[in-house]
Amino acid sequence: MLREAVSNMLKLYSSLHSRTDPRIRDYPLMQGPIQMTTILLAYIVLSVYIGPRLMANRKPFRLNTAMIVYNLSMVLLNGYIVYEFLMSGWGTTYTWRCDLIDTSESPQTFRMVRVAWLFYFSKFIELIDTVFFVLRKKQNQITFLHVFHHSFMPWTWWWGVTLTPVGGMGSFHALVNSTVHVIMYFYYGLSAAGPRFQKYLWWKKYMTAIQLTQFVLVSIHISQYYFMEKCDYQVPLWIHLIWMYGVFFFLLFSNFWIQAYIKGKRLPTTEDKPKQNGSANEPIAVVSNGKHLENGSAHRHTNGKILLGKVKEI
């Protein structure tokens, strides 16, 4: 039984290796699913079990400088990814409708391969988000959905980049997501800089609206596939998965908007001030590679009493 299982695993591995697009095969973390799966499993164990236990009897670290550098570096990285997506197709040759997977070996094709891999690799860099939570003892922020999306997103993108590194219309959501990340990490960089930057954070209440717009754009774009008379996109499975992902998160963030800003009447006021630790008083919902973040804790003072409403990141 064991020998048969091992044999089947080796056959699957060999099949995946043979189907790996030769244009992406030599890139880091692209030689097979074992390496990247091991990294993600280690991330789950460290963030959920080992990390919190190591920090249990220690004081939280103050990581403002590191967070500023990290967030602003992510702004630059995602800005570069957006630029490369535009220059390698979305701003040059793509029609924004039924754009097929490019199987050629033109310079522009290899440019798309590189940026598709870079987007994939950036998801591993974003695991540092959770490291900051652990070191700052923000364990309530490390929820199931937070860990799930941080690990599930790079895992699924490995399969997409392996089989279709020049994804055509299937890569539009990566362009949009990277654009939103430029805004999101810029906000967090300013927030981590402390109260003196509070006056520059008046637009935090619009972050959820930006996220909702992202999901609408992705869902509308990918939905074209179902209404076109003919679209021979080579891997329709990617189309269906992207559509489900966009709709799911649109519903999730719509519910957040209703609960936080309509029923809860939690719209930010002029009394709101960001904390030194980089979190903001009022919750905002943002997504990093598909993860749902509600930033910080909410504090209000009423008749000398402090009302504390914690919000979580998932």
Helices (H) and strands (E) in the chain, counts: 10, 4
Cα distance from N-terminal residue to C-terminal residue, the chain: 40
Strands 305-310 and 285-288: what pairing?
Answer: unpaired
Which tokens go with 120?
Answer: 């994939």
Backbone angle region of 192, left / alpha / beta, with phi > 0 → left and psi within -120 to 50 → alpha: alpha
Instruction: Encode 249-277: b = buried (16+ Cβ within 10 Å), e = exposed.
Output: bbebbeebbeebbeeeebebeeebebeeb
Taken in order 113, 107, 78, 238, is the CA torsion positive or negative? negative
Max distance between CA atoms of the chain, in angstroms, equals 71
Instruction: Please give the Cα distance from 20 to 117 (Å, whole number).
Output: 13
Q: What are the residue numbers of the active site?
A: 149
What Rg do the C-alpha atoms of the chain give, in angstroms?
A: 21
